[in-house]
Amino acid sequence: MEQFTQDDITFSLAGPVELPLNWVGQEELLRQLLAAWLVIDERDIPFNPRLIGKPGVGKTTLAYAAAKRLGRPVYLYQATMDTRPEDLIITPVIGPGGSICYAASSLVTAMLKGGVLILDEGNRMSEKSWASLAPLLDDRRYVESIVTGLRIKAHRDFRIVVTMNEDSSTFEVPEYIHSRLQPQIFIDFPEAYEEVLILKENLPFAPDTILQYVVNFLQRAHLADEIYSARDGINIVRYALKMSYNSRENPQKLVPLAIERVLGDEALRYLD
**Which tens digit of pLDDT belongs to each residue from 15-28?**
999 988 888 878 89
Alpha carbon 25 to chain centroid distance? 17
For residues 100 and 162, which has the higher predicted lDDT (pLDDT)? 162
* CA-wise closest residue to 171 among 66, 83, 232: 83
Q: pLDDT for 227-242, tens place per residue? A: 999 999 999 999 999 9
Dist. CA 257–CA 270, nearest whole Å: 13
Question: Does residue 102 have a pLDDT over 70?
Answer: yes
Q: Please compute the mean of the pLDDT values over residues 245-249 and round it to a whole number.
A: 85
pTM: 0.89
Q: Do residues 185 and 71 lie in contact, with contact meaning Cβ atoms separated by under 8 Å? A: no
Q: Do residues 214 and 255 lie in contact, with contact meaning Cβ atoms separated by under 8 Å? A: yes
Dist. CA 129–CA 64, nearest whole Å: 23
pLDDT given at position 134:
96
pLDDT given at position 21:
81
| Burial class (CB within 10 angstroms; exposed 0-12, middle 13-18, buried 19+) of 27 | exposed
Q: SS in 3 state form for 139-168?
A: CCCEEECCCCCCEEECCCCCEEEEEEECCC
Ramachandran angles phi, psi of 146, nearest 5°:
-65, -35
pLDDT given at position 170:
62
pLDDT given at position 269:
96
Dist. CA 204–CA 237, nearest whole Å: 11
DSSP 136: T
Within 18-160, residue ranges assigned H as helices are: 27-37, 59-70, 85-88, 106-113, 127-133
Q: Do residues 67 and 159 lie in contact, with contact meaning Cβ atoms separated by under 8 Å? A: yes
Topology (CATH) of 3-186: Rossmann fold (3.40.50)
Q: Please compute the mean of the pLDDT values over residues 36-60 and round it to a whole number.
A: 93
Predicted confidence band at 1 (pLDDT cuts at 50, 70, 90)? confident
Domain range summary for the chain, segments of one domain joined by +: 3-186, 192-270
Percent residues over pLDDT 70 in the chain: 99
Question: Does residue 31 have a pLDDT over 90?
Answer: yes
Percent residues over pLDDT 90 in the chain: 83
Q: Do residues 2 and 13 lie in contact, with contact meaning Cβ atoms separated by under 8 Å? A: yes
Q: Please compute the mean of the pLDDT values over residues 51-79 and round it to a whole number.
A: 93
Q: pLDDT for 121-160, tens place per residue? A: 999 999 999 999 999 999 999 999 999 999 999 999 999 9
Q: Please compute the mean of the pLDDT values over residues 171-184 and round it to a whole number.
A: 90
CA angle 66, 107, 133 (to 5 degrees): 105
Average pLDDT, the chain: 93
pLDDT given at position 168:
57
